[in-house]
Amino acid sequence: MLDIKFLRQNPELVKENIKKKFKEEKLLLVDEVMDLDENYRKVKARCDELRGLRNSVSKEIGVLFSKGMKEEAEKAKREVVDYNQELSRLEIKERDMSERIYDIMLKIPQIISPETPIGRDESENVEIRRYGEPTVFDFEVPYHVDLMESFSGIDIESARKTSGTGFYYLLGDVARVHSAILSYARDFMIDKGFVYCIPPFMIRSDVVSGVMSFADMESMMYKIEGEDLYLIGTSEHSMIGKFIDTILPEETLPHKLTSYSPCFRKEVGAHGIEERGVYRIHQFEKQEMIVVCRPEDSEEWYERLWNNTVEFFRSLDIPVRTLECCSGDLADLKVRSVDIEGWSPRQQKYFEVGSCSNMGDAQARRLAIRVQGEDGRKYIAHTLNNTVVAPPRMLICFFENNLNQDGSVTIPKALRPYMGGKEAILPKDKNC
């Protein structure tokens, strides 16, 4: 969320930013909030003036009575009544206008980074770099569900009966690989100096509205009926929410957390839940990383965070590439974002396995996350988030890239300590 003072001083810059995001329908919001803000400040000034007059006259009443000036005192009392009546009306107006301004400001996009390429949608995202040579086999790579079924490792039909489309059972070695990857990701990030965290898996609406847009909330999050609680769609929300309404001493920055959590998403408006697959699903697990830092440090952390994910996937022998998200593909709260995509030998293409975002001061402003400098000055922090790994989707590229012609899957060296030393897993017919 932008600072209203910034918008007052830079309305044309804000409009130009909206145009760069190809959201022309939001241009009118700038003029609307400017007019509202001007009137709000007038009403607020009058309220402050009335409070001053009321307090001044109230003090006089006792003095007038003590001097026997009853008529003057009664007149002063009537003035106070008039001031209170006008003030009551204006305070309602002041509150309503303030809420309206806040609601509009939530809808105005964050100023994007100068480094963000301009484009309408994800088709215009810009490839930054590829890491690792894309794997090409001289044998056929099965569909990922067929591959997992060869290890008796997945049961989608039973999950459909218990929970519906978009759910799954993972079993045996496939489930073990899934858990091993998360354990490895945890230790990988701890070794990078991040504090391990298991956060709440449900959060209140004020945290939800602080970390994401209302439209995203409606399309993504499951609400707990009868309670002010939502199931998290990503642990970033819960971890950033940890700092709500806090003043952080500057010398304690940056705060670096890495978290494990299950994640739950409606996927409304997405490309559809697969009947038979784990690419787009309602439930998955995730190792996440977040940073709360000084504004001048956020770009450096942005680069470091997405590089962590690249390093992690390469340690599992998975080729990846990074894409800089264009302006039209950025959510309104984001300043800058990189997608990390893993290689699929079967499809001979990359697909998204993680995303890193610099949120600037958008989340911190909404959640009142402030920093107190050594000089005593308070300012808004910057927040960033990045996916370390989010299985089971990433299992698609894990199994495909480590597949052998005999149907076995090699366990990369980095993962073997979490798999009891196993160097490979074998299809069920090879185990007999």
Q: Which of 91, 124, 299, 352 is catalytic?
A: 352
Tokens 């490839």 label which residue? 127
Told to judge if 41 belongs to the known catalytic residues of this protein, a careful annotator would answer no
- Quick one: how far is CA 300 from the chain centroid? 19
Q: Of 176, 186, 265, 365, which residue is the catalytic one? A: 265
Pairing verdict, β 378-380 and 424-425: unpaired
How far is it, in rounded angstroms, from Cα 133 to Cα 350?
12
3-state SS, residue 150: coil
Q: Tell me the pairing of strands 369-372 and 246-249.
A: parallel
Q: Which residues pair with 370 in a beta bridge?
A: 247, 380
Which residues is 214 bridged to in the sheet?
Answer: none
280 is catalytic: yes
- Among the listed residues 294, 8, 281, 287, the one whose alpha carbon sits nearest the alpha carbon of residue 169: 281
- Tokens representing residue 64 in the block: 């007038």
Strands (E), 25-134: 126-131
Q: Closest Cα to residue 78, out of 86, 68, 90?
A: 86
Beta carbons of 315 and 388 less than 8 angstroms apart: no
Report phi then psi at 261, rounded to 5.
Answer: -165, 155
Alpha helix ranges (H) inside 358-425: 362-367, 395-401
C-beta separation of 430 from 408 below 8 A: yes
352 is an active site residue: yes
Least Cα distance to 229 among 241, 219, 221 occurs for 221
Among candidate residues 176, 321, 365, 393, the one labeled active-site is 393
What secondary structure letter does DSSP report for 223?
B
Tokens 């009321």 belong to residue: 54
* Catalytic-labelled residue, pool 355, 365, 366, 400: 355
Say which of 8, 46, 280, 304 is annotated catalytic: 280
Asked if 8 is an active-site residue, the reply is: no
Backbone phi, psi, residue 324, to 5°: -80, 120
DSSP 124: G
Ramachandran angles phi, psi of 389, nearest 5° = -160, 150
Q: For this structure, is 176 an active site residue?
A: no
Q: 309 with 386: CB under 8 angstroms?
A: yes
**Active-site positions?**
265, 280, 352, 355, 393
